[in-house]
Amino acid sequence: MKTKVAITQFACTSSYEENVNKAISMVEKCVKEGANIVLLQELFSSLYFCQVEDYDKFSLAQERKTSKLISTFKEVAKKYNVVLPISFFEKSGVNYFNSIVVIDADGTDLGLYRKTHIPTGECYEEKFYFSPGDTPFKVFKTKFGKIGIGICWDQWFPETARILTLKGAELLLFPTAIGSEPVLVRDSMPHWRNTMCGHAAANIIPVLASNRIGVEKAKNSSMTFQGYSFIADSHGEVVKSLSRDEEGYALYEFDLDEINKERVSWGVFRDRRPEMYMDLVHYSKEDE
């Protein structure tokens, strides 16, 4: 199966309508160029409210079944015959999650994934807003291929990519919101990209990341989002990349059947030794 995927990136505002309309416009542009799957960035319907702790921001959350955001993009997916993973701030009972709903090309809701790894720190106060995800890592069987989803901080963990690949993913998608790091003395972008390219190479699977751009301010905080959304092929090579500060999109076509054959030929999954990896979950100093 040949599948054309697209990444996007844009600056968000405080207007829900502006952000949603911009996202729809991006989808439309990608579809006109043949995109089958379009990846939008993390929490694109608002500014990145996690910069600071603010109880008023919990009002941004939507319940999955009644979410106007999900409803809108179900219509968009069906209209354009395109697969859309949609990132949103989810309210579920008394809990709140950073979540993704994957919408198939016919507008069907294929299921929900909740962000597993929740960061905390200056400008990334996500533990204040989100409970840790209680869904397993999931692979969604769409019209245009089986996609594995992780959300931003998830992408730094090799376990995320490996588990999704083991579960049959043919593409790994990471909606992202990453920018300036006040506690770091260096630009984190190369490290961020190299980490994900490593996932692609180690698992022989394409990886897509869509990030936001622009300066966003909240109370006494300010972040400059770093863009550089990209597509890496199954060898870990960046085949498409956007800039640090320009809105845009990029497309690339993959032959998923050929990549699956190559993954088998490498033998990296044949030669795995899971019984030797118990230290990942059971390691203690006493084992030394």
> What are the φ/ψ torsions at residue 201 (nearest 5 degrees)?
-65, -45
**Helix, coil or strand: residue 106:** coil
- Is residue 234 within 8 A of residue 199, CB to CB? The reply is no
* Residue 262 falls in the annotated catalytic set: no
Q: Please identify which of the residues 30, 50, 152, 197 carries the catalytic annotation.
A: 152
Nearest to 164 by CA among 140, 197, 198: 140
131-149 CB burial, b ≥16 within 10 A, e <16: bebeeebbbbebbbbbbbb
DSSP secondary-structure letter at 83?
A: B
Alpha helices in 49-147 (DSSP H): 68-80, 126-129
Spot the catalytic one: 22, 74, 91, 115: 115
User: What is the residue whose two structure tokens read 């507008």?
Assistant: 107
Q: What are 239's two structure tokens? A: 């085949």
Catalytic residue among 42, 126, 170, 181: 42
Q: What is the DSSP letter of 274?
A: G
Question: Is 33 annotated in the active site?
Answer: no
Q: Is the dihedral of CA 20, 21, 22, 26 positive or negative?
A: positive
Question: Is 29 marked active-site?
Answer: no
Q: CA 245 to CA 225: how far, in whole Å?
A: 8
* Crossing angle for the helix pair 158-166 and 189-203, to the nearest 10 degrees: 30
Question: Maximum CA pair distance of the chain?
Answer: 59
Which sequence positions are flagged as catalytic?
42, 115, 152
